[in-house]
Structure 1
Amino acid sequence: MILNQSVIVDIKDIIDKAKDKAIRLVDHQRTIMYWHIGKRIFEEEQEGKDRADYGNYLTKFIAEQLEPEYGSGFSKRQVELIRQFYRTFPIANTVYSQLSWSQYKLLIRLDNQDKRDFYVAETIKNNWTVRQLERQIHSNLWERLLMSNERESVLAIARNEKHMSDAKEIIKDPIYLEFLGLHREASYYEKDMEQAIITHLHDFLLELGNGFAFIARQKRLHIEGDEFFIDLVFYNRLLRCFVIVEIKTTKLTHQDIGQLQMYVNYYDRYEKKDFENPTIGILLCAEKNNAVVKISLPENNKTIIASEYKLYLPTEQQLIAEMKKEIEKHDYEMELPTS
């Protein structure tokens, strides 16, 4: 008798899904338990609020009583996290089943409520793992999006309260590619970076932003006997358009911008359907002169974006410096006389 192997595949899929669901349910119940424990600790703290250092005494006392019986999950450090968890999320219906306790531990360390709301919404919407959430926080996704967008707009998009209409609302500048494993001091060619991106495509799509899907690599174009090759082609289902990515491992030139504009024009004229939006082009470059980019493009340009890539995550000091530069630039532009 010849057995159909598909039945085994289907049964294994059912088992794996059931196991995953059970793990999620157990983790959520643990998170709810921690929330209630945190609430009880908070109530006890209020009773002794007039006593100096009562909070520290209380968490130490609870850990000493619980850890011998329930294990390291109730160490003093863990009890302090549980207390902070309730203080950060005091409303019961903000404890989402889609978020794990490990993800909440990352979120309670954030010092800004809007930032925390953003990462909660993005994690749920994109089904981020703990590792993905940790990387997005460490790569300062919130701050990078704020550099080119209003706070309210970033939050509204994350919560699905607003539909994206502009590529700059999701495409970041700079883009961090530390996961490629390329070293900034080493020489490499554009094809090496392209291959590294393909190898780490999932991480690259995550860094690009929401809604991206891979279409082609080294897409060949025939134009009146001449051949051209586009590095990478994606489609964004939220913006409903093709997205062309050209890689430049050197400083960006106006010729690079012209080349990408030609590719964008080609896709708009020969690939785009009537119901789709204009094609977007991204120049992923090692260095750029913003003034050259601005002058090389039409004033109402919304389809060509130049974004620098970084092969390492920024330090906190570097991020603060970048934020200050953006603020000073914005203040300067606001002071310029209008004609």
Structure 2
Amino acid sequence: MNIDQAVITDIKSIIVKSREKAIRSVDYERSLMYWQIGRRIFEEEQKGQERAEYGNYLTKFIAEQLEPEYGSGFSKRQVELFRQFYRTFPIANTLYSQLSWSQYKLLIRLGSADKISFYIAETIKNNYTVRQLERQIHSNLWERLISKNNKENVLSVARSEKPLSDASEIIKDPMYLEFLGLHREASYYERNMEQAIITHLHDFLLEMGNGFAFVARQKRLHIEGDEFFIDLVFYNRLLQCFVIIEIKTTKLTHQDIGQLQMYVNYYDRYEKKDFEKPTIGILLCAEKNNAVVKISLPEDNKTIFASEYKLYLPTEQQLIAEMEKEIAKTKDGSDLKNG
């Protein structure tokens, strides 16, 4: 008896979805259990506020009573996390069934309510795994976006409260490409990085952000007998436009900007449909001079962007230094213009 393969495919899909739903349900109940334990610890702690170090004594005492019977999941450090979990999310109805306890452990260490809200929205929208969420946090996604955008806009886009209307709301500078496996001390050509991006396309799309889809590499253009090749072409379904990426493993020059502008113009005139938005161009470079970029582009530019790439994830000190440098550059530019 021949059974239609479509039936088997559908049944397998039902099994997989049901198992995933069961796992999420169990994990949610576990998170809710930890929240309830955290609430009980917090309530007891408030009774002994007049006693110095009572909180530390309480978590230690609870761990000593629970760990021998229930295992290392109830160590003193874990018990302290339960308390912190409740204090971060004091309303049970604000817990999300889409998030695992492992993801909550990453979130409650962030401190800032806005940052937590942002990563929750991004995790749910993009269905991040624990590893992907951890990588986005360690790459300082939140800080990179708000360094050049209004914080409220970034949150609104993440929560899907408003449609994405400006490319600057999702394009990151710098971009962290540690997953490519390229050594920052070594010299390499654009084609090496291009191939590495294609090999790690899934991770690159994750770094690029929401709505990106791969279209082509080394896209050939014929212009009056001359041939040109665009490194990478993507499409962003949220912005409804093509996104062209040119790779430069050296310092960015104004000639590079001119070349990318030509590619963007070509796509706008010969590839873009009437219902689509203007093409976006991104110069992914090893180094750039922001003043050169600004002077090379119109003041109202919204289509050409230059982003430095980094082959390693930043430390917190490096991020702070970068943000302070950008603030200083902005101030100097304003003073120059006003002068």
Question: Is 1:284 aligned to 2:270, yes or no?
Answer: no
CA distance in 2, matches of 1:98, 1:15: 19
**1:99-149 deviation line (CA, Å, top 9, x unaligned):** 110000000101211111111111111111111110010001111111111
Query: What does residue 39 of structure 1 align with?
Result: 39
The Cα shift of 1:2 comes to 4.0
* Partner residue, 2:203: 203
The CA deviation at 1:3 is 4.1
* Cα offset, 1:316, TM superposition: 1.5
State how far apart, in whole Å, the 1-side matches of 2:51 and 2:299 are. Answer: 63
2 CA distance for matches of 1:338 and 1:284?
31
Equivalent residue number for residue 317 of structure 1: 317
C-alpha deviation, 1:77, in angstroms: 1.1
CA distance in 2, matches of 1:315, 1:68: 38
Deviation, structure 1 residue 221: 1.2
Q: Within 2, Cα distance between the matches of 1:41 and 1:47?
A: 10
Pairwise CA distance, 1:97: 0.7
* Aligned equivalent of 1:130: 130
1:60-79 matched pairs, under 5 angstroms: 60-79=60-79
Q: Compare 205-214 and 326-335 and name the one that shifted more.
A: 326-335
> CA offsets per residue over residues 224-254 of structure 1, 9 Å max, x none?
2221111111111111110000111111111
Q: Distance in 2 between matches of 1:245 and 1:337?
A: 30
Superposition TM-score, scaled by structure 1 size: 0.96
Counterpart-to-counterpart distance in 2, 1:33 and 1:331: 50
Cα 1:337–1:12 shift into 2, 3 Å: closer
Measure the CA separation in 1 of the matches of 2:334 and 2:253.
28
Other-structure match for 1:25: 25
Residues 49-84 of structure 1 deviation map (CA, whole Å, 9 limit, x = unaligned): 111111111111111221222222111111111111
Q: 1 CA distance for matches of 2:219 and 2:114?
A: 41
- Once the 2 structures are TM-superposed, how far is the Cα of residue 42 of structure 1 from its aligned partner? 0.6
CA RMSD of aligned residues (A): 1.5
Between stretches 40-49 and 149-158, larger displacement belongs to 149-158
C-alpha distance 334-256 of structure 1, shift in aligned 2 (>3 A): closer
Identify the range of structure 1 (158-167 vs 15-24) with the bigger mean alpha-carbon deviation.
158-167
Which blocks of at least 5 consecutive residues in structure 1 are unaligned? none
Tell me how far apart the structure 2 counterparts of residues 194 and 135 of structure 1 sit (CA, whole Å).
22
* Structure 1 counterpart of 2:113, one-letter code: Q
Q: 1:140 maps to which residue?
A: 140
- Once residues 180 and 186 of structure 2 are traced to their aligned partners in structure 1, the CA distance between those partners, rounded to angstroms, is 13
Give matches, 1:101-112, under 5 Å.
101-112=101-112
How far does residue 333 in structure 1 lie from its aligned partner after superposition?
4.3
Residue 241 of structure 1: aligned partner: 241
Q: Indicate the residue corresponding to 1:268 in structure 2.
A: 268
Secondary structure at the residue paired with 2:245? strand
Q: Tell me whether 299-308 or 61-70 shows the greater mean CA deviation.
A: 61-70
Matches of 2:11 and 2:337, distance apart in 1: 70
Q: Secondary structure at the match of 1:186?
A: coil
* Residue 95 (1) aligns with residue 95 (2): yes
5+ long unaligned stretches in structure 2: none
Partner of 2:228, secondary structure, is strand
SS in 2 for 1:250: strand
Q: What is the TM-score of this pair, normalised by structure 2?
A: 0.96
Q: How does 1:134-283 map to 2 (within 5 A)?
A: 134-283=134-283
Residue aligning to 2:302: 302
In 2 relative to 1, CA 129–66 (structure 1 residues): closer, same or farther, beyond 3 Å? Answer: same
Identity of aligned residues (%): 81
Inter-partner Cα distance in structure 1 for 2:269 and 2:9: 44
Deviates more, 1:114-123 or 1:321-330: 321-330
Letter in 1 for 2:177: L
| Structure 1 stretch displaced more, 326-335 or 147-156 | 326-335
SS class of match (1:216) = strand
Alpha-carbon distance between aligned partners in 1 of 2:333 and 2:113, rounded to the nearest angstrom: 29
Give the drift of 1:5.
3.5
TM-superposed CA distance for 1:86, in Å, is 0.4
Q: Which has the larger displacement, 216-225 or 4-13?
A: 4-13
Count of residue pairs brought into register by the alignment: 339
Worse overlay, 153-162 or 96-105? 153-162
Residue aligned with 2:269, SS: helix
Alignment-mate amino acid for residue 328 of structure 2 = E
